[in-house]
Amino acid sequence: MGQSAGSRVVTTDLAAVDDAACTVLHVDMDAFFAFVELRRRPELRGVPMMVAGDSGGRGVVLSASYEARVAGIRSGMPTGRAVRLCPHVVVVPPDQQLYREVSTEVMAIFADVTPLVEPLSVDEAFLDVAGARRSSGRPAEIAARLRQRISDELQLTATVGVAPNKFVAKLASGLAKPDGLLVVPPDQMLGLLHPLGVRALWGVGPKAEKSLHALGFTTVGDIAGADPQWLRRRLGSAIGSKLYELAWARDDRPVTPMVAEQSIGAETTFATDTADADFLGRTLLGLADRTARRARAAGLRGRTVGLKLRFADFTTVTRAITLPTPTDLGAELYTAAAGLLNRLDLSPTVRLIGIRLEGLTEAAQHEQQLSFDELAAGPAGDGRGGEGSAAAAARGTERVRQAETTIDAISARFGASAVRPASLIRPAGHAEPTENRR
C-alpha cells in the first residue's frame, strides 16, 4: 500500500503499484483558505493562523494552518472558542473573492487533464482520467503531475486519492493528508477499508456512529460481515443497503462534470519571470490554440476573450474584449488576446499568462446562422467580380475552422504536439525563458 506515518498513509513508490483500474482521482487542496493567505502573507508561515470571522460576533473558523490545528482549532469552530484554545493565534479575515479566483485556477489545471471534472467545493473535485491515460500516462503519474503543477504554479499543496471509484478515492485522500498521494488498487481496497472505524463510511456522522456502536458495529469490517437483510431491517432499506455496499467498497456513481461551463481557458506559470514580449506572444498563441480545441470539443463558441497576467509580486490584471460574433478558432482568440497584451506594460515582469473564452453558446446555432448569412449575401458569382463581402468572410472563417478541426483529429490520434503553429517551433539551440509546461 505505502508508507504510514501515524494515521497518515501515502504511496511512496508509484512504479510498484498496479493502478490500471484506478481511473478516479479525488483532489483536495490542503487548508485551502489558510494556505492562500499564507502565500500573500509569508511572514505568517510557521505560526498559528486561521481564516475566520469576527471573534466578537458569531463568526466561525473557515480554515486553519497546521500549526493552529495542533492547538485543537478546526474548521467550523466558533472563532471565540478557537482564540481561547490558542490565544496567540493570528486571525485573518476571509477574502472570498480571492479564494474564488484561486479556485478557478485550480479547476483550470484539472481541466487541462480531463473534461470530466466534478467540483465538490472551491477546493476539491473528482476527476475521471480514464480517457487521459493515452496522452497523459498512468493515473498515479497524472496525480503526481497535478500535485507538482499546483505547487509550482500556485504555491499551494494538494492531497490526491487515486482509486477505482469515488468513495475509495475520497477516503484515500483523507488518509493521505496533508500533502500526500495514496493509490488504492482493487485488491487493496478492503484491506485498507475494513479496519477503519464506521465514521469512514459516507453519511456516518457522530449520531449515526453512536447508533452503530450500540448495534455492535465499531469497524467497517463489522458492517461488511453483517447480514445485509438484517441491516436493512434495523437501519432502513436505503441506509442499510448503502452502508453495506460502501463497506464492500462498491460505488458505481460516475464522475459528473458541471452542467454547463461558464468559460473555457488555459494559462501557464513560468519558472522564470519574464518581460519578453515575443516569448509572451508565442506562449499566448499556444494557450489560444489549447482553449479553442477545448471549445470545439465541447461544441461551444464564445464571444468574449479575456487576458490574464500575474506579475512577480502576485499582482493580477485582467482585460477583455467582445468580438462581433462568437468563435471557437485559435487564430481569432490569439488575435484578440494579443491586441490586449500589446496595450499592457510588461516591465514589472510576468510570472503567469492566461486566456479565457466567455459568453459561451452552442456552436450548432451559429452554424445554422452561417447558412442564412451566406444565403442573404447572394451567390458566389454575383456579376460584380466576386463574392459578397459577408459571404467571403464567412467562407474564409469556415476554411480556418476546417483546418483547425483537421488538426484536432491529428492531435487526438498522435498527441497535442503533433501539429502546432510554426512560430512555436524554436530553432535548435535557441534559448528562451524556461516555462513550466507540465
Do 324 and 401 share a structural domain?
Answer: yes
d(CA 31, CA 82): 16
252 marked ligand binding residue: no
Do 328 and 241 share a structural domain?
Answer: no
408 marked ligand binding residue: no
d(CA 394, CA 28): 45
Do 114 and 160 share a structural domain?
Answer: yes
Do 339 and 284 share a structural domain?
Answer: yes
Is 57 a domain residue? yes
Is 77 a domain residue? yes
Is 256 a domain residue? no
Q: What is the CATH number of the domain that holds 180?
A: 3.30.70.270
Which residues are 326's β-sheet partners?
none
Q: How high is the pLDDT of residue 96?
A: 86
Structural domain boundaries, residue 43:
35-96
**Domain total of the chain:** 4
Is 203 a domain residue? yes
Q: What is the CATH number of the domain that holds 89?
A: 3.40.1170.60
Nearest to 203 by CA among 160, 156, 244: 244
Do 151 and 282 share a structural domain?
Answer: no
Report the 3 state secondary structure along 162-228: EECCHHHHHHHHHHHCCCCEEECCHHHHHHHHCCCEHHHCCCCCHHHHHHHHHCCCCEHHHHHCCCH
Do 315 and 410 share a structural domain?
Answer: yes
Is 254 a domain residue? no
DSSP percent split of the chain into helix, strand, coil, nearest 5: 45, 20, 30
Do 402 and 292 share a structural domain?
Answer: yes
Per-residue pLDDT tens, the chain, 438 aa: give them. 555 445 789 999 999 999 999 999 999 999 999 999 999 999 999 999 999 976 455 678 999 999 999 999 998 888 999 999 999 999 999 998 899 889 989 998 998 899 899 988 889 999 999 988 777 889 999 999 999 999 999 999 999 999 999 999 999 999 999 999 999 999 999 999 999 999 999 888 888 899 999 999 999 999 999 999 999 999 889 899 999 999 999 999 999 886 456 789 998 988 899 999 999 999 999 999 999 998 888 888 888 999 999 988 878 899 999 888 889 999 999 999 999 999 999 888 999 999 999 988 777 655 544 433 443 444 444 444 444 554 455 555 666 666 666 665 555 544 444 455 555 544 444 344 443 433
Is 434 a domain residue? no
Do 41 and 162 share a structural domain?
Answer: no
| 124 in catalytic set | yes
Do 82 and 218 share a structural domain?
Answer: no
Do 389 and 310 share a structural domain?
Answer: yes
Q: Are 175 and 8 in contact (CB under 8 A)?
A: yes
Is 253 a domain residue? no
Q: What is the CATH number of the domain that holds 233?
A: 1.10.150.20
Q: Are 315 and 277 in contact (CB under 8 A)?
A: no
Domain endpoint, select from 160, 189, 218: 189
C-alpha cell, 168: 475509495
Q: How high is the pLDDT of residue 393?
A: 52
Do 26 and 116 share a structural domain?
Answer: yes
Q: How high is the pLDDT of residue 324?
A: 81
Is 405 a domain residue? yes
- Whether residue 427 has a cis bond before it, omega within 30° of 0: no
Do 69 and 137 share a structural domain?
Answer: no
Q: Are 30 and 178 in contact (CB under 8 A)?
A: yes
